[in-house]
A and B are shown apart, each in its own frame.
Chain A
Amino acid sequence: MSSLEAIVRELRKAARRALGARYAAHALVGAVAWVAAVMILVRLVPFERRAELAVVGIPVALAIAAAAWLIRRPSAALLMAMADIRLGLKERLSTAWERRAESGPLDDAQRHDAVQHAARASLPAAFPVRVNRGEATLVAILAIFALALALLPNPMDQVLAQRQADRVSQARAAKAVADAKKKIADSGKPSPKDAQIQKILQDAQAKIHEADSPRKALESITPAEQQLQKLPDPGTPALQSSAENLANALSGTAAGRSAAQAISNNPAKGAQSVRDLASQLQSLSPKDREELAKALAKASQQAQNSQMRDSLSKASSSLQSGDAASAAQALNDVASQLDSLQEQENTDQAVAAAINGLEAARQGLAAQADRDANGQGGQANAGASPSAGASGNGTGNGTGNGNGNGTGNGTGTGGTGGTGGTGTGGTGSNGSGTGSGSGAASTERIYVPGQPVPGQSENDPTPLGPGQDVPLSPYTQVIEAYQQAALDATDQSLIPGSERDLVREYFSQLGEPRAAK
């Protein structure tokens, strides 16, 4: 191996060291610049995994620098030429390397001269390992900058905290819906509508979970409630009333007393007792038959359900005419209707449980949506434009369903577009209702607070006008107090969630001109 190749090897080793140090410095600059850029970015855009994003740039910068270091292999000719320049060897090495295979009259002498001069020089000095002062300064500046950005308060922290709260709120709401599903499934009272109820709750849970914000999640609850409220049979109250009347009528008879008690306790048990009574008709005494026929006739007269009325009437007339078989058949029909009543009651209870779950979800989401609105109000001021939203008045009719028995009728006043309606359960608690209405064209003039007098604060008492003896409160203070009182009232009242949304939306609209100002 010639001395020239030994020189090349030594130069290459030194160059690798020098390049390694230089690329390490480049990587350091890249990594610190990346961190600084991330620190700037997270101040402009809310980004949660900022630490991970900042850290991931460091190995990437190092990897890129390492790859560049590995790929870049200076040629021997380049190394020789650079050594010539940096060591003042007057192009001896580069000429010798270029002509290493030549055999001209002076080539050998030239190579010998080059090797001699290289031996006297310190070859590694051609590629010194040194830190570029500019790069070091840049790294220091960027590091200080990034550190300062990391330590100073970040305005995006509030946004991120709000997002986190939103997610927690939505997760809780989804869990409330899931709990309702589980409760219905575990109730032990199956109804033919269970599958539909589970499907509605499942969809609502998914929408709540996937919604962008609590407010969006709220929008998925009302439709679910409306779907649920379509499931109960409207004839159930009438059937329940008929069953109660039957129980009352039978309680006065010797033969039907036990059946009356069973009907009062549970329609299903009542059905079984009525079937037992039907099978015992043959063995009843004429007196008992007559007494039973009268009770059935009375119950028939009081029955609001037509089928029940017909069956009871038929059973009564058959007993009076001595046709025990027909009477038994009619009583069996009554028992079937009691079974049907049991199923409808089960459905009602499942629907009520589902709505309770949705309402629980609504409570949490609404509270978070309010907090979001309050938190964002200050930020929205600058960009919002003043606009007077038209509001309309409408009337709506709705039906309410509660846990208890009863029917509800109500009227509702819609907000914008007239979408609201209220229903109150007759005797049930926790009733909720939906309604529909068409809003009339708005003629209401919305009061928009005027611009404050220059030099006067908005919170300063307004000067008394002619004929006024009480100082006026500023609009913003009054409307905020109204809003707070209204929202407190809705939280404490057992009013449907859709109505609470209306209240919230109303005040939100009122707040728009204020925000725009």
Chain B
Amino acid sequence: MIAEEPRVDATRVTELAQSLETELARLIVGQKALLRDTVIALTAGGHVLLEGVPGLGKTVLVRSLGQTLSMSFSRIQFTPDLMPADIVGTNIIGDTDGRREFHYQAGPIFANLVLADEINRATPKTQSALLEAMQERTVTVGTQTRPLPSPFFVLATQNPIELEGTYPLPEAQLDRFFFKILVPFPSEGDLLEIARRTTGDSTPQLKSVADAGAILTAQRTAREVPIAEHVLRYAARLVSATHPDRSELDSVRHYVRWGASPRGLQTLVLAGKVRALLEGRYNVAFDDLNSVAQPALRHRIFLQFEAEADGITADRIISEILEHTAKEPASK
């Protein structure tokens, strides 16, 4: 008999994700892919960059997520005059037992869930203050490095059409986001539902469905999901295919300036593992990788000017790569 009780209860991860999605769906109308990708990133322990025009519910989503999780939540509204100290905190002079001395005043970054609203409105100097926090999960002020609470989850939003007075995120910072999720405009049916839910006299109250411990357990469980060698090779081929000097696709060679980094492969595999669990499976499938390829790679592929001139997007390039990359069966 093969079957034994798994040492890690993966079904709890599935249940957690489903309850999170169900709870968020009470407030967020439609946007199932957005919710699924957000939950995947949360379960994988990655940060998310939400991109969409104003009014699509980006901020509501993040705020709702904070409500459904029993974790500390803070919101930072990025503006051009926002300073790094406004994010990471600073040393201020205080009065202690009659003596005046510096003590550290923690910034809003010290929370489990951080909403960086309109992140592209801050200056690059301030944006870079997030770099160490997002990657190292620590904050250094002066000579002292302080760890951030765990889990630490940054959800940043940006408006793609408003360019006046904005500072596009540099490639290095983009790469630190696990997913870049595009928030689409709702369908007509969803618009009607939004109108019904938000213009009445009652607003749905979300309940907490998980705490930090559950999220950390889910993150550890997700990393245990096995992936077959040929599926892993497929993921590597996908990432390699985004590079113009390695791809056989004309569109990649012509339009792509630089392809996804190895961090893109890590994201692809980890997100695939989470998705497999969310699908009630204990192994990564080709479908999992294909499903997460767009949010995992779109902000890691940097296009030439010709692409913009010809209306070619990173998503289109990724679709072509997915279409043409062979899913070779195992050769052994």
Given A75-B330, A90-B286, 6 more pairs with CB closer than 8 A: A81-B329, A90-B279, A91-B285, A92-B281, A94-B330, A110-B226
Instruction: Say how far A104's CB is from chain B's closest CB, in angstroms.
Output: 6
Whether B283 pairs with A96 at a CB distance below 8 angstroms is yes
Q: Are B327 and A106 in contact (CB under 8 A)?
A: no
A91-B231, A105-B8, A106-B10 given; A81·B330 CB < 8 A: yes
Interface members, chain A 92-150 (any B CB < 8 Å): 92, 94-96, 98-99, 102, 104-115
For the complex, count residues of A whose C-beta is within 8 A of B: 31
Within the complex, the shortest CB–CB distance from A65 to chain B, in Å, comes to 23
The answer to the question of A218 belonging to the interface, with a C-beta cut-off of 8 Å to chain B, is no
Assembly CA distance A403 to B284 (angstroms)? 107
In the complex, what residues of A have CB within 8 A of residue B10's CB? 106, 109
User: In the complex the two chains form, is A111's CB within 8 Å of B3's CB?
Assistant: yes
Q: Which of B272-303 contact A (CB under 8 A)?
A: 279, 281-287
A-B residue pairs in contact (CB < 8 Å), sample of 23: A2-B2, A3-B2, A75-B332, A78-B331, A81-B228, A81-B330, A85-B329, A90-B287, A91-B231, A91-B283, A94-B228, A94-B231, A94-B329, A95-B226, A95-B228, A98-B229, A99-B228, A105-B221, A105-B224, A106-B6, A107-B226, A108-B6, A110-B283
A80 on the interface (CB 8 Å rule)?
A: yes
Nearest A residue to B282 via CB reads: A110
Neighbouring A residues of B8 by C-beta, 8 Å: 105-106
- In this complex, what residue of A is CB-closest to B281? A90
Do most interface residues of chain B lie in helix, strand or loop, or is the interface mixed?
Answer: loop
> Beyond A108-B3, A108-B6, A112-B3, is A78–B332 a contact (Cβ under 8 Å)?
yes
**Contact indicator per residue, chain B 202-226, by CB within 8 Å of chain A (1) or not (0):** 0000000000000000000100111
Instruction: Tell me the complex Cα distance, A120–B224, Å.
Output: 26
* A4 part of interface (Cβ distance < 8 Å): yes
> How close is B223's CB to chain A, nearest CB, in angstroms?
10
Q: Are B282 and A113 in contact (CB under 8 A)?
A: yes
A12 to chain B, nearest CB (A): 15
CA A92 – CA B2 in complex, angstroms? 15
A106 to B227, CA, bound (A): 11
Asked if B2 and A4 sit within 8 Å, CB to CB, the answer is yes
Bound-state CA distance A75–B2 (Å) is: 22
CA distance A102 to B283 in the complex (A): 13
Cα A109 to Cα B6 in complex, Å, equals 6
A432 to B327, CA, bound (A): 90
Name which of A4, A77, A91, A94 has the most chain B CB atoms within 10 A of its CB: A91
B1-22 residues with Cβ-Cβ distance < 8 A to A are 2-8, 10
Q: Which A residues contact B (CB, under 8 angstroms)?
A: 2-4, 75, 77-78, 80-82, 85, 90-92, 94-96, 98-99, 102, 104-115
Q: Which residues of B contact A92 (CB under 8 A)?
A: 281, 283, 285
Complex interface: chain B residues within 8 A of A109 (CB): 3, 6, 10, 282
* Closest chain B residue to A89, Cβ basis: B285
Cβ-based interface call for B63 (8 A): no
Q: Does A115 lie within 8 Å of B2, measured CB to CB?
A: yes
**CA–CA, A129 to B82, complex, Å?**
69
Please name all residues of chain A whose beta carbon is closer than 8 Å to the beta carbon of B281 when the two chains form the complex: 90, 92, 113
Contacts known (A94-B330, A108-B3, A115-B2); A81 close to B230, Cβ less than 8 A: yes
Tell me how many residues of B have a C-beta within 8 Å of chain A: 30
Chain A residues within 8 Å of B224, by CB: 104-106
Complex: A94 Cα to B327 Cα, angstroms:
13
User: Chain A nearest CB: distance from B196 CB in Å?
Assistant: 38
Chain A residue numbers with a CB within 8 Å of B231 are 91, 94-95
Q: Which A residues lie within 8 Å of B227 (CB)?
A: 95
B286 to chain A: closest residue by CB: A91
CA distance A90 to B327 in the complex (A): 12
Q: Which residue of A lies closest to B4 (CB)?
A: A108
Q: How far is the CB of A77 from chain B (nearest CB, A)?
A: 4
Rounded to whole Å, the gap between the CB of B14 and the closest CB of chain A is 12
What is the bound-complex CA distance between A312 and B277, given in angstroms? 137
Which B residues touch A82, using CB under 8 A?
Answer: 329
CB-nearest residue of chain B to A96: B283
CB distance from A201 to the nearest CB of B (A): 73
B230 partner residues in chain A, CB cutoff 8 A? 81, 94
The answer for the CA separation of A98 and B332 in the assembled complex, in Å, is 10
Contacting pair B286 A115 (CB below 8 A) = no
Chain A: minimal CB distance from B74 (Å) = 34
CB closest chain-A residue, reference B330: A77
CA–CA, A364 to B229, complex, Å? Answer: 81
Closest chain A CB from B329 CB (angstroms): 3
A98 is contacted by which of B4, B5, B221, B228 (Cβ under 8 Å)?
B228
> Bound complex: CA of A319 vs CA of B225, how far in Å?
142
A2 to B: closest C-beta gap in Å: 6
**Do A106 and B3 contact each other (CB < 8 Å), given the known contacts A80-B330, A85-B327?**
no
Distance in angstroms from A198 CB to nearest chain B CB is 75
Complex Cα distance, B231 from A405, in Å, reads 106
Interface residues of B in 239-296 (CB under 8 A from A): 279, 281-287
Given A85-B329, A90-B281, A94-B329; A106-B226 close (CB under 8 Å): yes
Residues of the B chain whose Cβ atoms lie less than 8 Å from the Cβ of A2: 2
Nearest B residue to A4 via CB reads B2
Contacts of A91 in B (CB 8 A): 228, 231, 283-286
| Chain B residue contacts of A81, Cβ below 8 A | 228, 230, 329-330
**Which residue of A77, A85, A99 contacts B226 across the interface (Cβ within 8 Å)?**
A99
Report the minimum CB–CB distance from B5 to chain A (whole Å).
8
Q: With both chains docked as a complex, state the minimum distance between the C-beta of B178 and any C-beta of chain A, in angstroms.
A: 22
The CA of A388 and the CA of B156, in the complex, are separated in Å by: 102
B11 — nearest CB in chain A belongs to which residue?
A109
Give chain B interface residues in 305-332, CB to chain A under 8 Å.
327, 329-332
Instruction: Tell me the smallest distance from the CB of A114 to a CB of chain B, in Å.
Output: 8
CB neighbours of B279 from chain A (8 A): 90
Q: How many Å lie between the Cα of A96 and that of B283 in the bound state? A: 8
Bound together, the chains give a CA A78 to CA B228 distance in angstroms of 12
Instruction: Tell me the bound Cα distance from A51 to B3 in angstroms.
Output: 63
Cα of A113 to Cα of B280 in the assembled complex, Å: 10
Contacts of A3 in B (CB 8 A): 2
CB distance from B98 to the nearest CB of A (A): 56
Bound-state CA distance A91–B224 (Å) is 16
